[in-house]
Structure 1
Amino acid sequence: GETQYVKAERGMQVYAGTLNISGTLRVRVAAAAEGTLLSEITKLLDHALQARSRYIRLADRASQLYAPVVHVTALLTVIGWLIAGAGLHDSIVIGIAVLIITCPCALGLAIPAVQTVAAGAMFRAGVLLNSGDAIERAAVIDTVVFDKTGTLTLPELDVVNVAEIDADTFHLAGRLALASHHPVAAAVARASAVKAPLPDVVEEPGRGVRAMFEGEEVRLGSPAFCGADDLANELLAQDPEVSVVAFSRGGRHTVFAVRQLLRPDAAKTIDALTNRGIVVELLSGDREPAVRHAAGALGVNVWRAGVTPAEKIAHVEALKRQGRKVMMVGDGMNDAPALAAATVSMSPISATHLSQATADLVFLGKELAPVLAAVDYSRKAMSLMRENLGLAIGYNVLAVPIAIAGLATPLIAALAMSGSSVLVMLNAMRARRAGRA
C-alpha cells in the first residue's frame, strides 16, 4: 500500500512476495508456511468467502415455492372439477390449462433477462461481472470503502513537474532511464517517450545509472549520486509526498518529481456517489501524509492510514454490523480479504490476480466512472427485477382464477403465457439505460 519505495537496511523485516527493485538482498528466513503474512491474508480471505457464500439470490428465493405451488394448484383443480361432476377428460384439460397459464416462463425470465441486459450495458460502461449475484448486491450498497494506492490513484508512477524541465534534458534523461530497472526511473523513461537508450550505461545498484554523452558524464539516480541534494530538498519541502530522481550532466542538475496521480475523474465520481446518498470512506495501508493529501483532494472526510489487511477486514465487518451495505474497491493482495468480506466488491483491471479473482466486479480503463456506473445500473436493474416479478405475479393472480374456472382453453392459456413473457422481456430492455436511483 506504500506509494514510496522503502530502503531495506540491516535488521529490517521484509515479507515474502516483496519486490526488490535494485541491488542484492541477503535475508534470513524467520517464518515459513503458516507463519508468513501471505498465509495470514489467505486465512482471512477464506473466512470472508465462507461468510459471503450464505447470500441467497432473489431468483432463488422467488423460485423456491413456485413450482410446487403451481403443480398442487393444477392437481387441486382437476380434483375439484371431478368432485363437481365434470368428466375426467374435461377435468384434465382444465388442469392442463392451469399448468400452461402458470408456466413459469415470465417468472423464469423476470430476473435473468434484466441481468443479461444490465450486464451488457455495464460492459459497455467498462464494468465486467465476476459474480452472478453481483448486480443484486451492488444495488443495495450505502457505503463505498476505497483503497488508495492503485485504486484511487493510477497504478503507474508519472512525472508531475514536466513543464519545469527543458525538453532536451528530459529527452537525454529518458534515454538514460531506459537502462535502469528502478520504477521511478521507468516513470521518467515513459514520460519522455524515447525509444533508444544510451550506449554503454553502467548501473550502480542502489544509486543510479551513468554513461558518457558527447564527452560529458550523465547520471540518473538518487540526489546524492547526482550531486543534487539541495535541489531535491527544495522540491521535497514544497511537496513531501513525491518521490525524486535526479539527473546531472557535467555540472548541471535537474530533479524529477514522480508520484502516482489520482485517477482523472476520481473527485467527480466520489462527488456523484455522495450525491446519491452513499457514504464514501478511504482505507489505505499507505503513510498518513499521503492518505491525508488524497482524502483532501477528493473531499473524503472519513479516512484511515497505515491499515493492515486484518484491520481492513475488521473495519468492513464493523460497518456491516452497523447495518451498512458496503462496497469495497481495492486492487492489492492485502485488499483481498476485505473485498471478500464486503457486501459487494470491485477491483480495477490492473489489480493483482488474487484481488481480481475475489472481486465481484472488475472495471476497465484509467477512470473511476465505472464504479458509479456499476451502482447506477445495479439499482436500475434491481428496480426492474422487482417490477418484472410484480408483473409475473400479477399476471398469475389474474389468469389463474380464469383458468381454474374453465374459461381458458390450453391455446388461450398458451397465448396468455407467451404475452406475459414478452411483456417481461420488453420491460427488461429498460435496463440498458441507467438512471439515478
Structure 2
Amino acid sequence: MKARTTGTAPRAARMSPADMLRVGGAGLRSRPMRVFLSALGIAIGIAAMVGVVGISTSSREDLNRKLDALGTNLLTVSPGQSFSGEEARLPKSAVQMIGRMPQVESVSAVGKTDAKVFRTDRVPEEETGGIAVLAARTDLPRTVGARLTAGRWLNAANSRYPAVVLGPKAADHLGIRTTGRDTQVWLGGRWFTVVGVLAPNELAPDLDASALVGWGAAARYLDFDGYPTTVHTRAEESAVGRVQELLGATANPESPNEVTVSRPSDALAAKEASDDALSGLLLGLGAVALLVGGVGVANTMVISVLERRAEIGLRRALGATRGQIRGQFLCESQLLSALGGIGGVLLGIAVTTGYAAYQGWPSVVPLWAMAGGVTATLVIGGLAGFYPAVRAARLPPTDALAAT
C-alpha cells in the first residue's frame, strides 16, 4: 500500500525572541564602527535632553532647599519716588511702626551712608570697588536669615564703636580672609576692625557687596542721618499677602504711594522661570539631535540591507519567512537605538552630576526623564528601521542570491 503525500510545503520553524535577539546582535557585531557612530548620534540627543532636564531639576531642587531654609515670607520695604520724580525717604519711625503690626514676626533695617571703604588708607578714593557702607541694626541676621562664615555679628557692645561686618563679595574684593583685632579696613576716614564676614544670602543679595557697621557707630563716625533705606520684614507665612498690602501705608502713613514693597522670593521665582525658558530651548535642540540620530540609524539599516542581500536571499531560500526577515532587521534597529539610548542616559546623568557638583547643587535626575529617554530611542529605532525591514522582507530570494 503506497503512502499518500500532500502537496503542502513544510512550515518554517518559528523563531523565539531569544533567537531573534541573537540574530539581530550578530548583525550589529559584524560592523562595529558603523554601529558605534550611529549609536553615538542617538546618545548625543538623549544625553542633551536628559542633561537639560537633570540640570534644570537640580537647580530647582537647590532653589527649593534655599527657600525652605530662608523662607518665602520675607518682605522688603524701600523708598520709591515722589510726585516730583525725586527719590523719596522712609520715615525714621518706619521700623517701629512696622514692628507693631500683629502679623509681623520680626523687622530690621539698613541705611545707606556716603562713606567709602578701602583695604588701606593709601588707596585712591575713586577705587571703591562698588562696596556700599550700610548702617545695620543688630537684629538684621534674624530677620533676613543671614549667616556668618567667620567672626561674629554686631552686638549691643560693638555696634557703637568702629567695628564692621563684611559681605562675602566685599571681603573678597578687600582681600579679607580673617577677622579679629588685627584685621582692619580704612572706612570713612578712620580704621574699623573687621569682626565678621557674612555668607552669601539669596534673599538679601545687596548685603553681599556691602560693609555693615552698627547703627550707632554710623551716626557717630560716618554722619549717618538715621533714615532707613531698606526695611526687611518677616511676616507670618499665612499672612504674607495681607502684610504686603499694608506695609506701604504702615511704613509711611503720610505718603504710602512713595513706598516700594517687594518680595525677594518672587525675584528668585522669576529667575527660575527664565531658566525654564532656556531649558525649553535646549530641549528643542536635544530633540533635533535625537532626530538626526534617528536618520543615522535609518541610513545604517538601509545600507545594511543593501550589503546583506546575499544573506537575506540565503535565509529566504532556507525557509525564513518575510515576517522573520522583517523582524530581524527591526530587532537590529531597536538594539542599535537602545544602545544609543542607554548610553545617552548614562552620559546625561554624568553631565548632570558633574555640573551639579561644580555648582554645589544636589544632583537630581527624574526617573521619568531616564525612562522617557530610553522609550524615545525605541520609538525612533522602530520608525527608522521600519522601511529597511520591509525592504529586506520584500527581496525575492532569487534576486538576492543573484546579487552575489
Using the size of structure 2 for normalisation, the TM-score is 0.26
Between 1 and 2, higher relative CO (CA 8 Å, sep ≥ 6) is seen in 2
Which has the larger Rg?
2
Compare the two structures and name the one with the higher helix fraction.
Answer: 2
